Amino acid sequence: MKKLLLSAAIAVLGLSQVNAQDAVGGGQTAKGKILIEANTGFGGIENTGNSSNTGFGLYSIDGTTIWSIGAEGGYFVMDDLAVKLGLGYNDYDGASSFTYKLGAKYYIVSKFPVQIDVTGASSDDYFGDETPLWLGLQGGYAWFVGNNVSIEPGIRYNHSLNEDFTDESVFEFRIGFALHF
């Protein structure tokens, strides 16, 4: 019983300390803060040629290597709501593309990020005349490991908006790393 009470006291003290830090520093997701993040994605690309990646990725499929690099940034226009822009570069075994993303990310109770965005890609040598476009929905959990750093595992769903390019949608597991200033 003593261990249970001690554990409860430590938990309450820890939660009150986190809330006190948020109140003093304005919180990591307060209005006026800046968000910079990089994501890793697992799954999906091999099925559809999905190039909606503004994060880091490396895939090898039947001897073909696909890699990507990118980042996203955002500005909190109100507490817990950031408007975001992402840019990325992808290489498909010698053919390349640039990706862009525009969206919004909302942190429910400052801990559960949900995001909606539109992602597109452009390339002269990979897509031909097609312009891939996806609607993305993402949700997860923000684990704040410091005053300015969070790790955000989550699930993402990309729905194709250009059926001429692909009519398949993609689920991905993601791990995001974010800096809050």
**52-109: per-residue pLDDT in tens?**
578 888 888 888 888 889 999 999 999 999 999 999 998 887 788 889 999 999 999 9
Predicted confidence (pLDDT) at residue 157 exceeds the cutoff of 60? yes
| Whole-number pLDDT of residue 45 | 47
SS3 13: helix
| 55: DSSP letter | S
Residue-level pLDDT at 19: 43
Alpha-carbon gap, residue 173 to 43, rounded angstroms: 7
Task: Give yes or no for a contact between 179 and 53, defined as CB atoms under 8 angstroms apart.
Answer: no
Rounded CA-CA distance 41/152 in Å is: 12
Nearest CA-CA partner of 59 in 70, 37, 71, 44: 44
- The whole-number pLDDT of residue 131 equals 76
Average of per-residue pLDDT across 124-149: 85
Contacts of 46 (CB under 8 A, 6+ apart): 59, 61
Fold of 30-180: Porin (2.40.160)
Q: Is the pLDDT of residue 21 over 50?
A: no
Where are the chain's structural domains?
30-180
Q: DSSP letter at 30?
A: -
| Global confidence as pTM | 0.78
pLDDT per position as a tens digit, 93-134: 778 888 999 999 999 999 999 999 999 888 766 666 677 888
Q: Considering only residues 157 and 164, tell me which one the structure prediction assigns the higher pLDDT.
A: 157
Looking at residue 127, its pLDDT comes to: 64
Residue 4 confidence (pLDDT): 47
| Proportion of the chain above pLDDT 70, given as a percent | 74
Pick the more confident residue, 159 or 45: 159
| Residues β-bridged to residue 37 | 72, 178
Query: Closest Cα partner for 134 from 11, 44, 2?
Result: 44
* 140 pLDDT above the threshold of 90: yes
